[in-house]
A and B are shown apart, each in its own frame.
Chain A
Amino acid sequence: MKENLPDQDGFFGEYGGKFVPETLMFALDELEQTYKTLKDNNDFNAEFHRDLAEFVGRPSPLYFAKRLTEHYSTASIWLKREDLNHTGAHKINNTVGQILLAKYMGKKRIIAETGAGQHGVATATVAARLGLDCHIYMGSEDVRRQSLNVYRMKLLGAKVHEVNSGSATLKDALNEALRDWVTNIEDTYYIIGSVTGPHPYPMIVRDFNAVVGYELIEQSQESFGRMPDSIIACVGGGSNAMGIFYPFIKMNDVELIGVEAAGKGIETGEHAAPLNDGTPGVLHGAKSYLMQDENGQVKGTASISAGLDYPGVGPEHSWLKDIKRAKYVAVSDDEVMKAFHMVNRMEGILPALETAHAFAYLDELMPQMSKEQHIVINVSGRGDKDLNSVVEIEGIKL
């Protein structure tokens, strides 16, 4: 297998690259140079790991899910508890890292896009800590679905810009953030929230999230004396999955499973599963699997989960799919709601709707496993933010 991807032009095989308007090239080059210099710098790494320990609360525990394990009565189920991080999701790992890059580069203004609001909150949090001006772009449909997170961002001093263009979801928020960046290129740092976008973002976001996978290597050894048989994570843009998969890519015995949002069902076309039902194309600066029509227009998406409601996916996932190193499956909104309740009832954990996608795959996976095996689910975030949506979906009056 080829090592050290992406290559110098930012490609993972045929995927990735820098497909952006010329004005942005200078900022991407500047970011790439800065990251190259800092990533092996001891002071930078010490500061990053100190923040992860003291501000985020890492390492996150690897927790044995006893009742879920008994329920399926095949392999042992372990949970990597990213939901216990400060701000409630894996998203903080990346923002803590990128804000340090912004600080070293002397940028005074921070922008970000957000879908479910977790990345927006994580960005507003680190910007507040450094006293930086922070602007978050969010689709108006998501502002409605995730009003609690919107208020949290405002509490943190960020300005939330509602985006009404296109489908008014994550992809449109990304478009708008890119337009802001083109306009304010010199003083602004753009913290992309997933392993998407032009090079070097997919690499940087992966590297900062890979702390999850590196911790898991040690914790697996301590907890059950070897590496897991399977690792399961939900995939929207794919940052939590990439973070936990990355250190295991070269361990071929560890099965990597990404779970996409099948929405109302892959066969209905109303979903957000480009790896299951998309074709290679270019969106937001990178080539990757994409939900698009025969004219190359990007299709609308549908998912119960705002964080997975995105027509593209990180380029490294497209590469892992093509070389068959990772397997990508999809679960429907109905299956997700069932899993959401199951995890609450059996483990006392309120998972984000995004995360519930990973749990929803257990029904299919577990019957194929055997007792002596160990699987790990990346519990990418907690679900407090989704309670309004769940109540609405289930027609409950509070």
Chain B
Amino acid sequence: MKRIESRLKELSKVNQKAFVGYIVAGDPDLETSLDLMHLSVESGIDILEIGVPFTDPIAEGPTIQQAHDRSLENDTNLQKIVDLVGRFREKDSDTPIILMGYINNFLMYKDLINSSDELGVDGVLVVDIPGELSLKDYGIDNKDLDIISLVSPTTSKERIQRIAKNSSGFIYYVTLRGVTGSSNLDGNEIEQNIQYIKSISTTPVMAGFGIKTKDDAKLLSSFSDGIVIGSSIVELIHKNSENKDFHEVSDYISTMKDAIR
């Protein structure tokens, strides 16, 4: 069984929701990213989403944009990120890892992504490719990888059906109209839309974008299979990058994990 599927099954067996946590690889540097990946898992993250930095990340708010910029100053690229995942796997062979980024970077590393070698990566989430299109059409094809697609509040029912067919691992429900880190969550709308997705697909649904507080996390996890948190974690990492004491990061993750139990 693939890592994402088995992790989600384990959690659902014990009636737990999944906590997907996002960090940008290479912010503040790749060595620290490796430590932060392990720290995140120890603190309660069930699935790691690793941001691949891009010069023009149009779906990101300022917090994650700036993290992308910092990472690019360190010349982070996809090859280095796959190497980072390889090093992570030396100590952790269970935690699923998803690479999240923009199509242009993945296109440049097609051969790497398609290689039959064990990448250690379990899924990719390409933000700027419409979910009903297949990454295969763009030359990205690796049967070992789950393809995570986004559904948003503006996605029509007809599109949701097509997107659901192309998705594996989980469907990422974007909880608001806006970029990452915004704050205008509408609980009722989110609940209705997630219920609709679940009525037509057996693929688990995670809710993300704009989750900051314990209350957000608790509410959204009550009608989804789990939550995704990015900007808040990225912000805390940046705040503590100088002295590299990441207690605040681990405390925040544990608190959020407790909130969705």
A273-302: CB near B (< 8 Å → 1, else 0) gives 000000001111100001010111110000
Q: Give the interface segment out of B9-17, B173-181, B192-200, B237-245.
A: B173-181
A183, B128: Cβ atoms closer than 8 Å: no
For the complex formed, measure the closest distance between the CB of A14 and the CB atoms of chain B, giving whole angstroms.
10
Which single member of B61, B106, B107, B130 contacts A20 (CB below 8 Å)? Answer: B130
Q: Are A182 and B56 in contact (CB under 8 A)?
A: no
Q: When the two chains form their complex, are residues A296 and B109 in contact, meaning their CB atoms are under 8 A apart?
A: yes
Which one of A21-29, A59-67, A343-351 is at the B interface?
A21-29
Q: A185 and B128 in contact (CB under 8 A), knowing A27-B154, A295-B77? A: no
With A19-B129, A21-B128, A182-B177 in contact, is A295–B103 under 8 Å at CB?
no
Given A282-B103, A294-B108: A23 and B174 within 8 A (CB)? Answer: yes
- A310 to B144, alpha carbons, bound, how many Å? 38
Which residue of the partner chain B has the closest CB to A283?
B56
Cβ contacts under 8 Å, A220 to chain B: none
Q: Which residues of A contact B109 (CB under 8 A)?
A: 295-296
Partner of A183, one of B56, B103, B104, B182: B182
Residues of B within 8 A of A27 (CB): 154
Of the candidates B78, B150, B156, B182, which one forms a contact with A21 in the assembled complex, judged by CB atoms under 8 Å apart?
B150
| A379 in contact (CB, < 8 A) | no
How long is the Cα–Cα vector from A398 to B86 in the complex, in angstroms?
62
**Does A298 lie within 8 Å of B55, measured CB to CB?**
yes
Q: How far is the CB of B82 from chain A (nearest CB, A)?
A: 13
Task: Tell me the bound Cα distance from A179 to B106 in angstroms.
Answer: 22
Contact of B130 among A25, A171, A182, A297 (CB under 8 A): A25
Q: CA of A18 to CA of B131 in the docked complex: distance in angstroms? A: 11
State how many angstroms separate the Cβ of A169 from the closest Cβ of chain B.
Answer: 12
| A171 engages B177 (CB within 8 Å) | no
Known interface pairs A20-B128, A26-B156; A183-B179 also in contact (CB < 8 Å):
yes
Establish whether residues A282 and B107, one from each chain, have CB atoms under 8 Å apart when the complex forms.
Answer: yes
Is B151 part of the binding interface, using a Cβ–Cβ cutoff of 8 Å? Answer: yes
Q: Which residue of B is nearest A294, CB measured?
A: B108
Shortest Cβ distance from B129 into A: residue: A19
B145 to chain A, nearest CB (A): 18
Q: Which residues of A sit under 8 angstroms from B155, Cβ to Cβ?
A: 22-23, 25-26
Q: How many residues of B contact A (CB 8 A)?
A: 41
Known: A166-B56, A182-B177, A185-B177. A19 touches B150 (CB 8 A): no
Q: Are A165 and B65 in contact (CB under 8 A)?
A: yes
Return A163 CB to nearest CB of chain B, in Å: 11
Q: List residues of chain A with CB within 8 A of the CB of B128.
A: 19-21, 282, 285
Q: Does A182 contact B178, Cβ atoms closer than 8 Å?
A: yes
* B72 on interface, CB distance cutoff 8 Å: yes
Please indicate the chain A residues that have their CB under 8 angstroms from the CB of B43 in the complex.
Answer: none
* Contact residues, A167-185 vs B (CB, 8 A): 171-172, 175, 178-179, 182-185
Interface flag for A186 (CB, 8 Å): yes
**B152–A23 touching, CB < 8 Å:** yes
Q: What is the interface size of chain A, counting residues whose CB is below 8 A from a CB of the partner?
A: 34
Q: Which residues of A contact B131 (CB under 8 A)?
A: 22
**B interface secondary structure, majority:** loop
Nearest chain-A residue to B127 (Cβ)? Answer: A21
Closest to A27 in B: B154
B42-81: CB near A (< 8 Å → 1, else 0) gives 0000000000001111110110010001001000011000
Chain A contacts of B156 at CB under 8 A? 26, 29
Which residue of chain A has its CB nearest to the CB of B77?
A: A295
> Contact partner of B58 among A21, A22, A25, CB < 8 A?
A21
Residue of B nearest to A299 (CB): B55
CA distance A185 to B61 in the complex (A): 16
* Interface contact B104-A283, CB-CB below 8 Å: yes
Does chain A have a CB within 8 A of B87?
no
Given contacts A22-B130, A295-B108, contact A183 B58 (CB under 8 A): no
B56 near A298 with CB under 8 A, answer yes
Q: How many Å from the CB of A281 to the closest CB on chain B? A: 5
Most chain A beta-carbon neighbours within 10 Å: one of B62, B103, B182: B103
Is B105 in contact with A295, judged by CB distance below 8 angstroms? Answer: yes
A290 to chain B: closest CB distance in Å?
Answer: 8
B204: interface (CB < 8 Å): no
Contact A179 B179 (CB under 8 A): yes
Contact B178 A22 (CB under 8 A): no
A10 to B166, CA, bound (A): 21
Is there an interface contact between A284 and B72, defined as CB atoms closer than 8 Å? no
Among B55, B154, B159, which residue has its beta carbon within 8 angstroms of that of A297?
B55
Interface positions, chain B 138-166, Cβ under 8 Å from A, are 149-156, 159, 163
Q: Is the CB of B177 within 8 A of A22?
A: no
- B105 surroundings in chain A (CB, below 8 A): 295-297
How far is A297 from B150 in the complex, measured between Cα atoms in Å? Answer: 23
Q: Among A25, A175, A281, A298, point to the contact of B154 (Cβ < 8 A).
A: A25
Interface flags for A4-36 (1: CB within 8 Å of B; 0: not) read 000000000000001111110111010000000
Distance in angstroms between the alpha carbons of A296 and B108 in the assembled complex: 6
Within the complex, the shortest CB–CB distance from B134 to chain A, in Å, comes to 12
Q: Mark B96-131, 1 if CB is under 8 A from A, else 0.
A: 000000111111110000000000000000011111
A292 to B56, CA, bound (A): 12
Q: Which 4 A-B pairs have the closest CB atoms?
A: A296-B108, A26-B154, A23-B152, A183-B178
Residues of A within 8 A of B (CB): 18-23, 25-27, 29, 165-166, 171-172, 175, 178-179, 182-186, 281-285, 290, 292, 294-298
Sample (30) of A-B pairs whose CB atoms are under 8 Å apart: A18-B130, A19-B128, A19-B129, A20-B58, A21-B58, A21-B174, A22-B131, A22-B155, A23-B153, A23-B155, A25-B130, A25-B154, A26-B152, A26-B154, A26-B156, A165-B62, A166-B69, A172-B56, A175-B58, A179-B61, A185-B177, A186-B177, A281-B107, A295-B77, A295-B78, A295-B105, A295-B109, A296-B54, A296-B106, A297-B105
Interface residues of B (CB under 8 A from A): 54-59, 61-62, 65, 69, 72, 77-78, 102-109, 127-131, 149-156, 159, 163, 174, 177-179, 182
